[in-house]
Each structure stands twice: as structure tokens, then as C-alpha cells.
């Protein structure tokens, strides 16, 4: 559920003035069923912060856990162009921080306080950027895994006959990491093709081609998938240290009697192997009150000579598909897609992809989750471990944490 805009709440916040002043905000987060939730991202709407801490600024806060330990945090600056003469955070969206819920931990408490001191610079664990120097790629990563997808320059023809690479695909690539620090810029700066060899940090061992890659989308007609071309527009909304948010837009394409367009919004959090994706479709031409979307995993992503052995798993009850592919020399790679119950329609496949089908309403976001994990990173070394992670994520989606807020007098 989207929280009210700070602009909409501005009159109430100004009217409240000093009467709202307190020593801070108490945040109590309940964990349904006490399930383990490593790196749970807790979102506090900025109006709640401002109500307890009038005049608070994004770099002058301290977030503490129940033991008094200061935590890294981030304020999502959703409207950087907004003017804020009264200093109430007009451009601010959510305050986010993370907590590792242990199994059986039913709740956790935190405080958010205003401080005069400048908050420390927290380690950046997520990153997203447009990469014009590599044919308009868009790449993103966190401390677990990295991805990229392809932009307009890569799809452009080689009119000058220079040997330029040409590829039309809206599939999602995977870059496997075995380190927790950020590598996207390091790998691009090493020069093209260096990241196809593991030099100690990881590698690109994933071939997308015309497939959906790891969580790409298309419109399903019951027999085949109609897919977009390369993304044409991009926008970075937030870029760390805990959460990156960006959007990719795709020009209209034909899907049977329809012409559709798509905008994807990715939310990439530190500590997660799966990203949250919200795809919003528009029907540009033709009848279309509802769409069936296919979200895919590439069936044949391994490099040549790797003699891959693939194990596919699905759970219609949880809306999950997962694939574990053993490579001869490059370790094993797990990929997965999860569609929440309210949108799940079923499972299918085509020549290139395993598919989970989802219901989409034009103009409304379709939310799903997609991502990957590499055995050489050490966390998932068997298909059972990867599938257990995917199942645990599905459980987290079904039972999200709930937060309550109290102004500390």
C-alpha cells in the first residue's frame, strides 16, 4: 500500500507545529509466525518521522535498536526537485533500515531520533546505473548478486560495418558474485569480456539471448510469448546505501490483437538475492481490461562447454519457479521467480523459458520477485538450499511485517 505524499500531509504537519514535538519515534515491528527474516527492510513513512521529530533532516537522524546500537539507515528522496523552505522533508519518502529477525523472534523495537550531529556515511551495499559506455546497458547489484539488461544502443544496427555488437532482447542478465563489495563499475572498467572470466570476484556466466533471462516479462496468449525490445528509457529514484530503486521503460510492441507498453520499477535491497519488480502495462491499442503476463527463467543459460545439468522446481501453491544449473567448471547457479497469490494464474513454458503466469490490470503495478544465487559465493551450494531460500521468501511475502509508531514524550 502506498503511503500518503508528504505534500498532501504538509498542512497538517505545519499546523501541528511544536505540539507534535517529542524526543523521538518508537517503531515496533511485528513478525508474523516468528519466521526468520535476514536483512528485513523496515520502512517508516516520513510523515511519521516528521510528526515525532519536527524539522528533522535526512542526514541528522539516529536509528537505534532495542539495545541502543545505532543502525545504518537511508531516506528515500523521492522528489529531489521539490522546494522545502520550511525544512520538513517535502521530498522525502520512506526512512528505511534493516534488522535480522531470528526464527522465533516475534517483534523488534527501534527508535528514530533527531540529532544535531551529522550522521555517519554508511557503507553502500546497493548500486544501479545506466552504462552508456557499454551500448546503453543498465546494471544493478547488491552485496549478493548483480544483473544487467540491454538498452537502445545495443539494438541499433551496425550501419558503419564496424563489427558492432547487435542484440535485441529485454531479458535480464545475471552477474554472479563471490564478494560482498560492489563490482559493477570495476568489471566494466576492466574492459569488455573480462567479466566473462572469474578473476576472484565473480563472472558473467549467464547467456540470455532471446530468452527472458532471470525474470523478464512478456504477454502470454496461451501458446506463445510476445516480448518487448530493449529498454528505451531509464530513471534512478534511489541509490543506496540500503535500497536502490530504478525504472526502465519499453516502447509499445504487438501482442496479438493488442499493442502494449511496459514500465518496470525495480527495488533492490541489501542482503537479498531476489529483487522486487513492479511491471505496469499500458494497452496502447486494442481491447484489454486484463492481461496474462509470462515471467520467465532461461532454460539454457550456460556457456558453451559447461555440460550443464539443470534441475527445475515449481510450487503452484506458492507461486514459485526455480532453476538450479550445475556447470562443469563455473559452479552452480540458482534462479527463481515468485508471483504473489493475488496475481498468480499458473505455470507454463515455451521453447526458451520456464514461465510463471500472472494477471495484470493495465495501469496497475504487477508485483513479483526475481533473482539468483551462485554456489561459489558459499551461501547456496545445493539445489535444496536454493529452493529452501525461495520457499522462505515466498513465506515472507505472504506474511509481511507490520509496524506501529508511537511518539516518545
User: Does the bond joining 241 to the residue before it have cis omega, within 30 degrees of 0?
Assistant: yes
Evaluate the CA torsion angle 60, 66, 70, 73 in order and state its sign: negative
CA–CA dist 347, 30 (Å, integer):
33
Q: What is the pLDDT of residue 289?
A: 81
Beginning with the edge strand found earlier in the chain, give each strand of the sheet holding 61-65 in spatial order. 61-65, 107-114, 24-30, 402-408
The burial of 259, by beta-carbon neighbours within 10 Å (0-12 exposed, 13-18 middle, 19 or more buried), is given as middle
Contacts of 215 (CB under 8 A, 6+ apart): 172, 275, 277, 295, 296, 297, 335, 337, 368, 370, 371
Q: What is the pLDDT of residue 79?
A: 76
Local confidence pLDDT in tens for the 409 residues of the chain: 344 443 444 333 333 333 334 579 999 999 999 999 999 999 999 999 999 998 888 999 999 999 999 999 999 987 777 777 766 777 889 999 999 999 999 999 999 999 999 999 999 999 999 999 999 999 999 999 999 999 999 999 988 888 889 999 999 999 999 999 999 999 998 766 788 899 999 999 999 999 999 999 999 999 999 999 999 999 999 999 999 999 999 999 999 999 999 999 999 999 999 999 999 999 999 987 899 999 999 999 999 999 999 999 999 999 999 999 999 999 999 999 999 999 999 999 999 999 999 999 999 999 999 999 999 999 999 999 999 999 999 999 999 999 999 999 8
Any idea what DSSP says for residue 102?
A: P
38: helix, strand or coil: strand
CA–CA dist 314, 84 (Å, integer):
49
Q: What is the pLDDT of residue 175?
A: 98
Nine-digit cell at 363?
495501469
CA–CA dist 86, 342 (Å, integer):
42
Domains and CATH numbers, the chain: 21-117+402-408 (2.60.40.1180), 126-378 (2.70.98)
Contacts of 250 (CB under 8 A, 6+ apart): 170, 228, 229, 230, 231, 232, 261, 262, 263, 264
Q: What is the pTM of this model?
A: 0.92
Q: What is the pLDDT of residue 192?
A: 67
CA–CA dist 130, 247 (Å, integer):
11
User: Read out DSSP for 123-149?
Assistant: PP-EEEEEEGGGTTEEEEEESS-EEEE
Contacts of 382 (CB under 8 A, 6+ apart): none
Amino acid at each position: 500500500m502506498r503511503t500518503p505524499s508528504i505534500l498532501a500531509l504538509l498542512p497538517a504537519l505545519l499546523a501541528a507545529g511544536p505540539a507534535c514535538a517529542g524526543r523521538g519515534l518508537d517503531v515496533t515491528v511485528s513478525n508474523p509466525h516468528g519466521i526468520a527474516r535476514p536483512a528485513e527492510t523496515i520502512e517508516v513513512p516520513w510523515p511519521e518521522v516528521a510528526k515525532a521529530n519536527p524539522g528533522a533532516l535526512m542526514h541528522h537522524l539516529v536509528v537505534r535498536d532495542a539495545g541502543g546500537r545505532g543502525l545504518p539507515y537511508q531516506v528515500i528522496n523521492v522528489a529531489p526537485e521539490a522546494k522545502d523552505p520550511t525544512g520538513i522533508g517535502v521530498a522525502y519518502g520512506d526512512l528505511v533500515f534493516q534488522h535480522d529477525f531470528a526464527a522465533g523472534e516475534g517483534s523488534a523495537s527501534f527508535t528514530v531520533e533527531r540529532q544535531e550531529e551529522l550522521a555517519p556515511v554508511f557503507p553502500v551495499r546497493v548500486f544501479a546505473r545506466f552504462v552508456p559506455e557499454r551500448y546503453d546497458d543498465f546494471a544493478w547489484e547488491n552485496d549478493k548478486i548483480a544483473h544487467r539488461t540491454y538498452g537502445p544502443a545495443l539494438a541499433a544496427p551496425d550501419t558503419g560495418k564496424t563489427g558492432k555488437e547487435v542484440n535485441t532482447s529485454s531479458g535480464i542478465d545475471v552477474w554472479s558474485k563471490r564478494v560482498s563489495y560492489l563490482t559493477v563499475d570495476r568489471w566494466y572498467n576492466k574492459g569488455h569480456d573480462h567479466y566473462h572470466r572469474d578473476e576472484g570476484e565473480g563472472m558473467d556466466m549467464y547467456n540470455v539471448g532471446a530468452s527472458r533471462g532471470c525474470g523478464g516479462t512478456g504477454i502470454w496468449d496461451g501458446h506463445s510469448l510476445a516480448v518487448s525490445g530493449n529498454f528505451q528509457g531509464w530513471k534512478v529514484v534511489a541509490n543506496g546505501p540500503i535500497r536502490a530503486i530504478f525504472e526502465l521503460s519499453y516502447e509499445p510492441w504487438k501482442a496479438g490483437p493488442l499493442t502494449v507498453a511496459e514500465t518496470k520499477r525495480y527495488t533492490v535491497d541489501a542482503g537479498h538475492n531476489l529483487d522486487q519488480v513492479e511491471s505496469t502495462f499500458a494497452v496502447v491499442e486494442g481491447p484489454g481490461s486484463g492481461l496474462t503476463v509470462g515471467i520467465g527463467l532461461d532454460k539454457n543459460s550456460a556457456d558453451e562447454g559447461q555440460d550443464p545439468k539443470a534441475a527445475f522446481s515449481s510450487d503452484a501453491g506458492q507461486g514459485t519457479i526455480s532453476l538450479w544449473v550445475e556447470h562443469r567448471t563455473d559452479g552452480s547457479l540458482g534462479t527463481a521467480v515468485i508471483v504473489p497469490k493475488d496475481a498468480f494464474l499458473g505455470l507454463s513454458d515455451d521453447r526458451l523459458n520456464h514461465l510463471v503466469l500472472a494477471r495484470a490490470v493495465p495501469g496497475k503495478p504487477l508485483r513479483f520477485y526475481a533473482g539468483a544465487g551462485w554456489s561459489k559465493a558459499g551461501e547456496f551450494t545445493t539445489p535444496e538450499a536454493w529452493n529452501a531460500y525461495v520457499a522462505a521468501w515466498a513465506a515472507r511475502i505472504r506474511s509481511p511485517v507490520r509496524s506501529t509508531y508511537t511518539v516518545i514524550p
